[in-house]
Amino acid sequence: MADPNRPVQQRRGGALKRTDFFAAMRANRRRTTVLCLLLILIGGVLGYIIGLTFEVFSTNDPEHSLARGLRLGSPAGLAAGAFLLVFGTGWTLIALFWGDRIVLGLAGAREVSEEDQPRLHNVVEEMAIAAGLPKPKIYVVETPALNAFATGLRPEKAAIGVTAGLLGALTREELQGVVAHEMGHIANDDIVYMTAVGVIVGMIVLIADIGLRSMRFVGRGRSSGGKGGTAAMVIMFVILLVVLIVAPIAAMMLQMAISREREYLADATSVKFTRNPIGLINALTKIGGSSERFTGAPRAIQHLFIANPFRKFKKTSGALLATHPAIELRIERLRDLG
């Protein structure tokens, strides 16, 4: 069996010509849309449970409020769920408007001119022409780690960032594969999806964290209540605790699932643009074999990079807890396209 960590010297055409990249893109977009809807649903459920808890603990008939709420008839729960959905949408729109600047700032990227990086500019221009998109702005991050990312709200405002370590380690062919991968994210609207998903997940985690911290005060000020009322409040307390713990975990798992699907799609799109899988295969081999880590990258944007800046994911890594597919699996898919 071929060693997946060995750079490929030659293998062109063949099965790659039979690959239906458009079908793969459509399938991954459908999956991502479903996952985004599930994320929004998690936010709505979280809001409903918080509203129902408030109603149960503030009414004179907790047992009746709990029974009605479990039938999805809680006015406070419905109002809180709707508010959270509207608030999340507004937060997402604000983040999308400023998202590219935020990402570039968090990554510590600086824009470079064609005089500073002629090879990088030339490769980006080539891949932009292949993708039929405007040439993105180009940024470099001063770190020895091997990594790259794309950001922007639309192709006309997109930016590609690469690390200094990547520029020094890759050949021109390998750099083409990486840049084409990032152009794939831009062409497939991944950067918009991932920014929106990241913001929604962040909102869910933040609200759940506030809820957990506030639980110590739940029920304070209520000095009386019958056995039925007390039992209802205990049940609601347990439901709220479970939801506050499970909701952010489920949201982050869905975020990671979206990231993994998008990386596979961008890999396939890279081959579509370059007509050559060898460059990306060899680039991924070098990235996976590097021991340098991008310690300056915040975890909030780790899913935007071509490889996770903090850890390597192996075939044996738990898929539900991985932001990226294992490098070995990505190389295998690129070798076996078709």
pLDDT surpassing 90 at residue 112: yes
pLDDT in tens, 300-327: 778 889 998 887 777 766 566 677 888 9
Which is more confidently placed, 127 or 54? Answer: 127
What is the extent of the structural domain holding 21?
14-335
The total number of structural domains in the chain stands at: 1
pLDDT in tens, 174-219: 999 999 999 999 988 777 777 777 777 777 888 888 887 777 665 5
Which one is catalytic: 182, 261, 292, 328? Answer: 182
pLDDT in tens, 204-257: 888 888 887 777 665 554 544 444 457 877 888 888 888 888 888 888 777 777
Residue 273 within a domain: yes
Q: What is the DSSP code (8-state) at residue 150?
A: E
Residue 17, CA distances (Å) to 183, 204, 280 in order: 20, 43, 17
Residue 285 within a domain: yes
Residue 8 within a domain: no
Residue 69 within a domain: yes
Residue 5 within a domain: no
Distance CA 35, CA 202 (A): 15
Residue 187 within a domain: yes
Per the DSSP assignment, residues forming a β-bridge with 160 are 138, 150
Neighbours of 273 (CB within 10 A): 24
Burial of 212 (0-12, 13-18, 19+ CB in 10 A): middle
pTM over 0.75: no
pLDDT surpassing 50 at residue 96: yes
Task: Tell me whether residue 173 is one of the annotated catalytic residues.
Answer: no
Residue 177 within a domain: yes
Residue 191 within a domain: yes
